[in-house]
């Protein structure tokens, strides 16, 4: 019976309009309690399950939001950052009774085609975009089509663009400053130039060196691409420079660096101290446990979704920015001095 019921029929049985039924189904706050109870009683008695398309037509909303990750599926599912971010978004999606659509792609052309398809179909209420790579290819198109969107990270031009980010400059600074305070002076970094987060973490590294009158040495600053393999490869190169410590711009690269250090028969932290960034689950599973910078990835996802919902509901205008603090988490990979383990 419930499959044959429609919003129109529920309205007839409840003695209200279709618009009122739609508002009840979509959780609209401005409904008299007695009417809401009247409609809900009929829904409960009939076992009515609303068709999503019908609800969308009635409310002029699809209740579908998208998450765009400009990376291939292999990266998305192998890098612990993305599951943590998606989990945070999913928590808020559930709270708002929304559906989350995930879009991944590996090339600029594929990305443009994907965004074009999204906009032409008109099925999404809004988008979240991760700043996985430099270049805001989609932003002009989204602005032109007036699609509500939130950038997770820092766009190249943040004017008029809503975004959520962690304080990556502070993260790089805290990590490097901690290594210096432990007595290290020849501090390398495995940085990345792939996105603004990498740029900011490198900037924080340089700020800490400058504060302690340590000259920035380009030979000690080499670049990876956030992958385990690049961390391993770059660390092998850095070992030729004989650093006594290294700040790595992501935990994933740090795990690769640990493998390279061990293969060179060096010990962590006695021969080389190491600090990562992100505080992902593998940091605790590493041997030794990785000192790292905690960024609240799941919270970033939650705030991104909440910001997007407010934009869709016209409660927030484009240009709303949130920067979340980062925190140093001290574990085994930096030695026992000034130890403050979780």
Domains 2-54 and 168-294+328-334 share a fold: no
Tell whether the model's pLDDT for residue 25 goes beyond 90: no
User: Alpha-carbon torsion 252, 176, 198, 244, what sign?
Assistant: negative
Tell whether the model's pLDDT for residue 101 goes beyond 60: yes
Bridge partners, 123 (sequence order): none
Tell whether the model's pLDDT for residue 159 goes beyond 80: no
CA nearest to 67, candidates 102, 42, 115: 102
Q: What is the pLDDT of residue 3?
A: 44
- Are β-strands 291-294 and 327-329 bridged in parallel, bridged antiparallel, or unpaired? antiparallel
What percent of the chain stands above pLDDT 70? Answer: 89
Residues 150-176 have a mean pLDDT of 90
Task: Please tell me the CATH code under which domain 64-167+297-325 is placed.
Answer: 3.40.50.2300
Using alpha carbons only, give the angle 185, 340, 184 rounded to the nearest 5 degrees: 5
Residues 63-75 have a mean pLDDT of 82
Rounded CA gap, 38 and 218, in Å? 71
- CB neighbours of residue 90 within 10 Å: 18
The residue that leads in pLDDT, 281 or 28, is: 281
- CB neighbours of residue 1 within 10 Å: 7
Residues 94-105 have a mean pLDDT of 88
Tell whether the model's pLDDT for residue 114 goes beyond 60: yes
Residue 121 CB-density burial (10 A; 0-12 exposed, 13-18 middle, 19+ buried): exposed
Q: What residues does each domain of the chain span?
A: 2-54, 64-167+297-325, 168-294+328-334
Q: What is the pLDDT of residue 84?
A: 92
Q: What is the pLDDT of residue 158?
A: 66
Q: What is the pLDDT of residue 187?
A: 98
The correct CATH number of 168-294+328-334 out of 3.90.79.10, 3.40.50.2300, 3.40.1390.10, 3.40.50.12780 is 3.40.50.2300
Tell whether the model's pLDDT for residue 175 goes beyond 80: yes
pLDDT digits (tens, 9 = 90+) for 139-151: 888 888 888 999 9
Q: What is the pLDDT of residue 2?
A: 41
Q: What is the pLDDT of residue 235?
A: 98
Give me the architecture of the 2-54 domain, per CATH: Orthogonal Bundle (1.10)
Residues 234-263 have a mean pLDDT of 97
Tell whether the model's pLDDT for residue 1 goes beyond 70: no
């Amino acid at each position: 019976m419930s499959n044959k019921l429609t919003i129109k029929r529920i309205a007839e049985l409840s003695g209200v309009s279709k618009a009122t039924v739609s508002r009840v189904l979509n959780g609209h706050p401005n409904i008299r309690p007695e009417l809401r109870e009247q409609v809900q009683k009929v829904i409960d008695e009939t076992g009515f399950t609303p068709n999503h398309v019908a609800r969308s037509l009635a409310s002029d909303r699809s209740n579908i939001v998208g998450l765009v990750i400009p990376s291939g599926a292999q990266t998305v599912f192998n890098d612990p950052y993305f599951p943590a971010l998606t989990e945070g978004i999913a928590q808020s999606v559930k709270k708002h009774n929304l559906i989350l659509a995930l879009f991944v792609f590996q090339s600029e052309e594929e990305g443009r085609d994907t965004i074009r398809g999204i906009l032409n179909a008109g099925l999404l209420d809004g988008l979240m975009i991760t700043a996985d790579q430099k270049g805001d290819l989609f932003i002009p198109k989204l602005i032109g089509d007036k699609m509500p969107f939130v950038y997770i990270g820092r766009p190249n031009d943040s004017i008029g663009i809503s975004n959520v980010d962690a304080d990556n400059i502070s993260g790089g600074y805290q990590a490097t400053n901690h290594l210096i305070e432990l007595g290290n002076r020849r501090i390398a970094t495995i940085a990345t130039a792939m996105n603004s987060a990498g740029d900011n973490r490198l900037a924080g590294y340089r700020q800490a060196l400058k504060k302690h009158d340590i000259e920035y040495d380009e030979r000690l600053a080499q670049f990876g691409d956030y992958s385990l393999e690049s961390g391993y490869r770059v660390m092998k190169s850095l070992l030729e420079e004989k650093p006594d410590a290294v700040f790595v711009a992501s935990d994933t690269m740090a795990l690769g660096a640990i493998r390279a250090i061990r293969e060179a028969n060096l010990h962590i932290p006695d021969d080389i101290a190491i600090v990562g960034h992100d505080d992902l689950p593998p940091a605790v599973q590493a041997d030794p446990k990785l000192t790292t910078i905690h960024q609240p990835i799941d919270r970033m996802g939650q705030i991104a979704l909440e910001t997007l919902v407010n934009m869709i509901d016209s409660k927030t205008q484009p240009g709303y920015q949130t920067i979340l603090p980062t925190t140093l988490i001290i574990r085994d990979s930096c030695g026992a001095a000034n130890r403050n383990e979780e």
